[in-house]
Amino acid sequence: MNIEETGLPGLVVLTPPRFGDERGFFSETYNAEKLAEHGIAITFVQDNHSLSAETNTVRGLHFQAPPRAQAKLVRCGRGRLWDVAVDIRRGSPTYGQHFGIELTFENAKQLLIPAGFAHGFITREPGTEIIYKCSDTYAPETEGALLWSDPDLGIDWQLTGNPILSGKDADAPAFIGFESPFTYEGAA
């Protein structure tokens, strides 16, 4: 498994190898032992699969607060999406910064998002599927969101038309004035 640093502590891109022949390919998309060898020890307890029918569908920026915070391992099952994670850990040297990456079925890349990041994505093709593992189960009483289009975050979503949003995402609060429930616990 290829592991690339992103510049945001704890946020990494994983690319598992694919072994192909005339039938197609095989890929081991998650292996706890192999990740632990690289210092990544996250136990995942829930898998989610989401389909977005239209291009320019935006979902996010979402997080789940402690004590039910979630790390995520995100990949694209079909189509193409721009995946974004924003560091919302108070005291982090990269607080308020984001990282974005194109995830596609073809490139097989995955984004490992530790707890303490807000997460969102935009679809770049109709019929895009996102598949992700979570380190805790869904707990609606702890969910939070930030405004996906907040100019203070400076995320270029590369829209090609009007965004398709849920009411919750359209009305999410801005980053300025946000009281993060997360604290950075790494070295500064």
For residue 151, the number of C-alpha atoms closer than 13 Å in the C-beta half-sphere is 0
Spot the catalytic one: 62, 98, 119, 184: 62
If one counts every other C-beta atom within 10 angstroms of the C-beta of residue 107, the result is 13
Structure tokens at 46: 């829930």
Cβ neighbors of 130 (< 8 A, separation 6 or more) are 49, 50, 52, 74, 75, 76, 77, 81, 83, 103, 121
Spot the catalytic one: 30, 38, 95, 132: 132
Residue 116's nearest CA partner among 83, 91, 147 is: 91
Distance between CA atoms of residues 156 and 89, nearest Å: 21
Cβ neighbors of 65 (< 8 A, separation 6 or more) are 142, 143, 144, 181, 182
132 is catalytic: yes
62 is catalytic: yes
Which positions are catalytic? 62, 132
